[in-house]
Structure 1
Amino acid sequence: MTALFTKVYEQEVLNYKTHLEILGYSPLTVKEKYLYLKAFFSYLEEHKIFVLEEIESKDIAGYYKALQQKISAVTGAPLTGESIQGRMRIIQKYFSYLIETGILKKDPASAFIFSSETQVRERVIFTQQQIRELYGVSRNLQERTILNLAYGCGLRVGELVRINREDLNLQENVVIVEKGKNNKRRLIPITEKVKEELQAFIFSIEDERSIGSSQALFYNTENRRMQAGSFVRILKNMLLKTESGKKMPAETLRKIGMHTLRHSIATHLLENGMSLERIRCFLGHDHIETTEIYTHIHTDQLKNITR
């Protein structure tokens, strides 16, 4: 990336980098925000804007249009809408930081709303009481194990499909996701209670599965690796046994999937005070902006749910 010529901008990106590090963001996230802010300042220099106080809303709008024309150096294709929105949210948060620290009196980005497609899509979130109900109606070790992994460990449905018995390192009390999204590996700690339930489930299926066959953790009725549709059916059958599930509108029920459990644990962790950065690591998100979706859910959607 081209170096910045304006000393003010060069110092600003360094100051903001230090600010993010103090907040506890991971090195990868800090680097991403640092580089994207630097790219924005480089655009301003190209357009003869060299002072923070001179940045106007039209300049931010111009940069947004420039990103829409930009070709990714990695893919060789135009930037995706989600990527553009993510970059613009970084800039918007930077200006909020300038206002909070008193560096600027007026926020030129305040008139914009940069939302990713995943943010605006409505999400169904189980309350903590509904989760307790699901555990209460789980009638066997398989159902409880699905809840422990999909909710308790926040696994994606594809990760549930691919998980093998060897991925449960119960001696170290961790679940290993060998190939998450973008083939990213992560370790998820589990409690003693979950460990005991996983041990019991593995013991219950050992007699049914030969050692030389597939090491899948979950099997369907045809003795094959369980697929996404089967997980969803099991979840919905459990939900319909709960009091809240029986009252759930059909339209809402149609939106329920294994992702609902993943979104729910993320929201509940946020409610219970866990930092966004720790939730990001737990879920295996590459970018903190993806995790920040749950801040939106927590403040806007959950306030309408009766607990």
Structure 2
Amino acid sequence: MKWNNYIKDYQSYLRIERGLSKNTIENYSFDIERLCLFLENNQIDVSPVKIKDETVQQFIYSVSKEVNARSQARIISGLKSFFNYLVFEDYRNDNPLELIETPKTGRKLPDTLSVEEIDALIAAIDLSSNEGERNRAIIETLYGCGLRVSELVALRISDLFFEEGFVKITGKGNKERFVPVGKFAQRYIEIYQTEIRTKLNIKKGCEDTVFLNRRGGQLTRAMIFTIIKDLAVKIELKKKISPHTLRHSFATHLLENGADLRSIQLMLGHESITTTEIYVHLDRSFLKEVMHSYHPRK
């Protein structure tokens, strides 16, 4: 089977033409590799150009026994994308997943933190260490600007426009947006830059990176997850949180205080307003308050 060649071409397409991140490309590739493993285990020798609908349906059926509906939907979506690419490149005339329905998963609303819980997280940071000042700036930036963790670790000094009150963010698909930066985030970034970062032995290639590890290199996504998880344990927070929880809290708190969805969409960098609606859940009391405040027949 010549799956590897097609997969490599597809990965190049995702990287160059669609501008997807390394992590996203790896997730797409994993779905295809899982199909390849199924074919190998069942001794089905067929190329991606010749594979039939029935074979793919057998694979999806086997997957449905192992994973939940959300994971199954992700796998189907990933494979549809791959075969759509093969159709686009004239390797195939049809997509073998065209008639396969994606299972309904509903909307999973992630936990959000209250302002008091965010304050407690920040208060738990040990500011006696160099990492403490950095971590405070990180938490304030994630929450104050609503950034994805990948956007935070890639943030550059040359992206900071504090006089204008903005930071320039390079998001998914290398799309740039300007996000307002609050006074708390700005203040703590400046403290970290002047008091801590200047003392580091900065590695080559990281001179323009805002947040660095203690060895002067770029922070990883995993490090940010660990920082937040450790703080949650420290304050005995029962919720399961991640860097994305701060992004979700940013959007939720803006909406609850009167911001419109379109503005939040622009700040989060969502292509579709429906994505923003998924992130931003409302309790019924807030909806009732909006109704009474703004509807002419309240």
Band the TM-score falls in, shorter-chain normalisation:
0.5 to 0.7
What's the counterpart of residue 125 of structure 1? 112
TM normalised by structure 2 equals 0.55
Q: For residue 212 of structure 1, report the CA deviation from its aligned partner.
A: 6.0
Equivalent residues in 2 for 1:1-307 (5 A)?
76=88, 120-139=107-126, 140-177=132-169, 179-203=170-194, 204-210=196-202, 213-214=205-206, 215-242=208-235, 246-248=236-238, 252-253=239-240, 256-295=241-280, 297-299=281-283
Indicate if the aligned counterparts of 1:165 and 1:202 stay in contact, CA closer than 8 A: no
- Identity %, equivalent residues: 29
Q: For residue 268 of structure 1, report the CA deviation from its aligned partner.
A: 1.1
Between the two proteins, the alignment pairs up a number of residues equal to 191
Runs of 5+ in structure 1 lacking a partner? 1-68, 86-113
Question: 1:4-46 deviations in whole A, cap 9, x for unaligned?
Answer: xxxxxxxxxxxxxxxxxxxxxxxxxxxxxxxxxxxxxxxxxxx
Distance 2:115 2:188 in 1: 20
What's the counterpart of residue 12 of structure 1? none
SS at match of 2:282: helix
SS at match of 1:151: helix
Distance 1:157 1:258 in 2: 6
Indicate if the aligned counterparts of 1:153 and 1:190 stay in contact, CA closer than 8 A: yes
RMSD over aligned CA atoms reads 3.4
SS at match of 1:135: helix
2:282 partner amino acid: H
Question: 1:202-222 deviations in whole A, cap 9, x for unaligned?
Answer: 112023145965122222244
Indicate if the aligned counterparts of 1:216 and 1:225 stay in contact, CA closer than 8 A: yes
What's the counterpart of residue 61 of structure 2? none
2:179 partner amino acid: I
TM normalised by structure 1 equals 0.54
SS at match of 2:112: coil
Indicate if the aligned counterparts of 1:280 and 1:291 stay in contact, CA closer than 8 A: yes
**Runs ≥4 in structure 1, deviation > 6 angstroms?**
none
Distance 1:280 1:126 in 2: 20
Runs of 5+ in structure 2 lacking a partner? 1-79, 89-93, 127-131, 288-298
Indicate if the aligned counterparts of 2:151 and 2:171 stay in contact, CA closer than 8 A: yes
Distance 1:225 1:260 in 2: 22
Indicate if the aligned counterparts of 2:197 and 2:212 stay in contact, CA closer than 8 A: no
2:176 partner amino acid: R
Q: For residue 72 of structure 1, report the CA deviation from its aligned partner.
A: 7.2
Q: For residue 128 of structure 1, report the CA deviation from its aligned partner.
A: 2.0
1:184 partner amino acid: K
